[in-house]
Amino acid sequence: MPPLHSNALIFVAMLEKKSIYTALAISAITGLAIYLFRLKNLSDTVQTRFKKASKNPSKGSFTVDIDLINPSAGQLNVKGITGQVFFGNNLIATYSSKTPFVIRPNSATPVSLNFQTTKGALLNAAIQQATSKGAIPITIKYDIRTAFGSIPQSFTINPAELV
């Protein structure tokens, strides 16, 4: 039978090993929580500035140029953007891009969203209605996809702006 102090040393070593693993796990969880909290705060600060919109009836599409403004000191790595365009309650166009890009700190990042119309006649009716009388705005909803989820964004434009 080994001496008593040898068993005590093994027990202490096992406790130290368990404490180290516990401390590492707590540190990892805390670090992840801080990172996600900062990402959420950063995502809340990203703003959209509409620049222009243009239509291409022969291709059944239209393009919306925006700036994604990041007034914070943090950088946001984007995996892609998906979006939808609504006229009233009708879905008239969709967009999906898996092209990654970076929204740099304290700057505006230009982005062109090329929407493919699902109902070209409805888009043309919206533009025609906008030129003849006050129009229902077109609502653009899109999600900025990041490694830890999506950041929903939306804005409206007047259909008459689709030149």
Q: Which CATH superfamily is domain 46-161 in?
A: Immunoglobulins (2.60.40.10)
- pLDDT value, residue 42: 67
- pLDDT value, residue 37: 76
- pLDDT value, residue 19: 74
The model carries a pTM of: 0.70
Asked whether the beta carbons of 144 and 150 are under 8 A apart, the reply is yes
Which tokens hold the place of 146? 């990041």
- pLDDT value, residue 161: 72
User: pLDDT of 16-73, one tens digit each?
Assistant: 767 777 877 888 888 888 777 777 776 677 888 888 888 776 677 888 899 999 888 8
For the chain, give percent helix, strand, coil, nearest 5.
Answer: 35, 45, 20
Instruction: Determine the average pLDDT of the residues in 7-21.
Output: 63
- d(Cα 67, Cα 108) in Å, to the nearest integer? 6
In 3-state terms, what secondary structure has residue 135?
Answer: coil
User: Could you tell me which residue, 5 or 97, shows the higher pLDDT?
Assistant: 97
Nearest one of 35, 112, 113 to 75, comparing CA atoms: 35
User: pLDDT of 67-117, one tens digit each?
Assistant: 999 888 878 889 999 999 888 788 888 999 999 999 888 899 999 998 888
